[in-house]
């Protein structure tokens, strides 16, 4: 049984700081893999407007306490 892993991805879109949560089956998410996800979220923006991508692991589904919610 595979567990899902969660990552907090921070980035800049133009001059705005943004972040999103990414769920993946792999225990590692590279900035390049995160870029693919971010570009799909902002498909109307130029890819060159997305900069400063940082990925921070948040754990996996088993790490959550019952009733705990994740914000996106």
pTM of the model: 0.77
> 9: domain range?
3-56
Q: Which residues sit opposite 17 in a β-bridge?
A: 12
> How many domains, the chain?
1
The pLDDT of residue 3: 78
Residue 36 CA to residue 33 CA, distance in Å, equals 5
Q: Is residue 23 part of a domain?
A: yes
Per residue in 6-53, pLDDT (tens digit) is 999 999 999 999 999 999 989 999 999 999 999 999 999 999 999 999
Q: What CATH code is carried by the domain that includes residue 12?
A: 3.10.20
Residue 68: pLDDT over 80: no
């Amino acid at each position: 049984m595979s567990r899902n892993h969660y990552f907090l991805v921070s980035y800049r879109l133009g001059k705005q700081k943004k972040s999103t949560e990414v769920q993946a089956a792999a225990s590692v998410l590279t900035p390049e893999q995160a870029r693919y996800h971010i570009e799909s979220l902002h498909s109307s923006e130029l890819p060159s407007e997305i900069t400063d991508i940082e990925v921070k692991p948040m754990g996996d589904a088993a790490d959550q306490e019952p009733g705990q919610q994740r914000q996106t």
